[in-house]
Amino acid sequence: MSTTGPNQNCDRNRLSIHSMPCLRCGTCCSKFDVRVSMDEAHRITDRIGITWDEWMNSYINDRWPGTESFILRRHNGKCIFLKEKGEQSLCSIHSFKPSLCIEWNQGPQHKECQQGLQKRWGIVVDNSGTLNGTQQALHCYRAFLKSLEGD
């Protein structure tokens, strides 16, 4: 997921943004069924070093026929490739994740991103796309953005 920086136009309890990076909250990876093409499936199995049988038995949703494409399996309600690291939820196949995941364009307009902001920092997005929260919450959010620099 691509990352872009926030607009610096902010006051004490509001932060106006045009875009935002992936929050690493895992919300979208917990909500959507991800369809994977046959080519993508072969690429993933090659990169993570598993056999085709392992892929078929452990990584895909067996309710999907899987003749031309697959649906990634969920584990504990989340994509099987989503891993928790501290407060963050990270894609363990980020550099070769499926095209559907690449095309997901995070931003304050998505309810999943709004839920991530609310869950992690208690920040609410209003109708104009402005982030509203306590001074401390917005400070923590800015600290998170800073921590992504150089990623």
Q: Which residues bind ligand SF4 (CB under 6 A)?
A: 29, 34, 72, 79, 81-82, 91, 93, 97-98, 101
Residue 135 CA to residue 14 CA, distance in Å, equals 8
Residue 93 CA to residue 125 CA, distance in Å, equals 30
Is the Cβ of residue 20 or residue 79 nearer to ligand SF4 in the bound state?
A: 79
We find the least distance from the C-beta atom of residue 72 to ligand SF4, in angstroms, to be 6
Per-residue DSSP letter, 70: E
Token pair of 82, please? Answer: 């989503």
Token pair of 92, please? Answer: 């363990």
We find the least distance from the C-beta atom of residue 134 to ligand SF4, in angstroms, to be 29
Is the Cβ of residue 23 or residue 29 nearer to ligand SF4 in the bound state?
A: 29
We find the least distance from the C-beta atom of residue 117 to ligand SF4, in angstroms, to be 18
Token pair of 15, please? Answer: 């932060």
